[in-house]
């Protein structure tokens, strides 16, 4: 029997991407609004794709250190269910965004070693959900989507926070089941791990990833 694990497919850019994620059984679909990312999507294209997302599947906007002007534009045009803050936003900024837009906020927290783990608690106090990702290298152009994993044993004794959390970072159809088992994650996020080329989603890999996660 499939597990109750929830899967987020991030960086969707085409109607075929949305259809593949829906067919596979994704719980969340993520749209990236960050020009430096190969998965960046225009607000107009995201608005068109959002209406194709099945009812009951959460539409998530990923932004990086976005100001109110950008968030105003995105939220006015795209019917969203959640905002994902994937930059260096402070807990105070997370609280501001929640209050201003009335949408659930997921905050990404990068992990490289044990010293990064305490920050998760700081964001758990203000965010509706957490996304625990691999911290990008210092010279990385992207805050996520780099295909890097972190040491999952860092979460072995911290499987539960006061809000739901999602595991990300270097997940693929081949390792997602082990990652969920080792960390206790009940939600997982993937972007580059289901691409046939950088920024180009592969329907077969999406199906394989969701099946593996739920197996």
Which phi and psi angles does 101 have, rounded to 5°?
-105, -15
Task: Give the CATH class of 6-214.
Answer: alpha beta
H or E segment to which residue 165 belongs: strand 165-167
What SS3 class is residue 16?
helix
Distance between CA atoms of residues 34 and 40, nearest Å: 5
Q: Are 11 and 201 in contact (CB under 8 A)?
A: yes
H or E segment to which residue 176 belongs: helix 176-183
Is the model's pTM score more than 0.85?
yes
Indicate the domain borders of the chain.
6-214
Distance between CA atoms of residues 14 and 4, nearest Å: 27
Specify the residue for token string 């998530």. 60
Tell me the pairing of strands 195-197 and 200-201. Answer: antiparallel
> Looking at the predicted structure, is the pLDDT value of residue 18 above 70?
yes
Q: What is the dihedral of CA 112, 60, 105, 127, to 10 degrees?
A: -40
Q: Are 61 and 46 in contact (CB under 8 A)?
A: yes
Assigned token pair, 141? 């152009």
pLDDT exceeding 90 applies to what percent of the chain? 77
Distance between CA atoms of residues 200 and 195, nearest Å: 5
Model confidence pLDDT, tens digit, residues 34-79: 999 999 999 999 999 999 999 999 999 999 999 999 999 999 999 9
**Which carries the bigger pLDDT value, residue 156 or residue 81?**
81
Rg of the chain in Å (alpha carbons): 16
Q: Are 39 and 145 in contact (CB under 8 A)?
A: yes
Assigned token pair, 24? 């596979």
Mean pLDDT of 149-167: 79
Which pLDDT value is given to residue 175? 95
Model confidence pLDDT, tens digit, residues 73-105: 999 999 999 999 999 999 999 999 999 999 999
Mean pLDDT of 3-9: 92
Which pLDDT value is given to residue 113? 87
Tell me the pairing of strands 58-63 and 6-9. Answer: unpaired
């Amino acid at each position: 029997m499939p597990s109750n694990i929830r899967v987020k497919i991030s960086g969707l850019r085409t109607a075929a991407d949305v259809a593949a994620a829906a067919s596979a059984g994704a719980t969340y679909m993520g749209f990236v609004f960050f020009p430096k990312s190969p998965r960046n999507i225009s607000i107009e294209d995201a608005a068109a794709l959002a209406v194709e997302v099945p009812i009951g599947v959460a539409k998530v906007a990923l932004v990086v250190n976005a100001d109110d002007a950008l968030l105003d534009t995105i939220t006015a045009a795209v019917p969203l269910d959640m905002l994902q803050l994937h930059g260096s936003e402070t807990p105070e900024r997370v609280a501001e965004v929640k209050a201003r837009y009335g949408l659930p906020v997921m905050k990404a927290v990068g992990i490289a070693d044990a010293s990064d783990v305490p920050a998760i608690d700081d964001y758990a106090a203000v965010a509706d959900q957490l996304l625990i990702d691999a911290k990008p290298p210092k010279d990385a152009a992207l805050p996520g989507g780099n295909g890097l994993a972190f040491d999952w044993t860092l979460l072995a004794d911290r499987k539960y926070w006061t809000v739901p959390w999602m595991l990300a970072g270097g997940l693929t159809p081949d390792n997602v089941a082990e990652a969920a088992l080792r960390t206790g994650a009940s939600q997982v996020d993937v972007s580059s791990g289901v691409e046939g080329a950088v920024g180009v989603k592969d329907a077969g890999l999406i199906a394989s990833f969701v099946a593996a996660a739920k197996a």
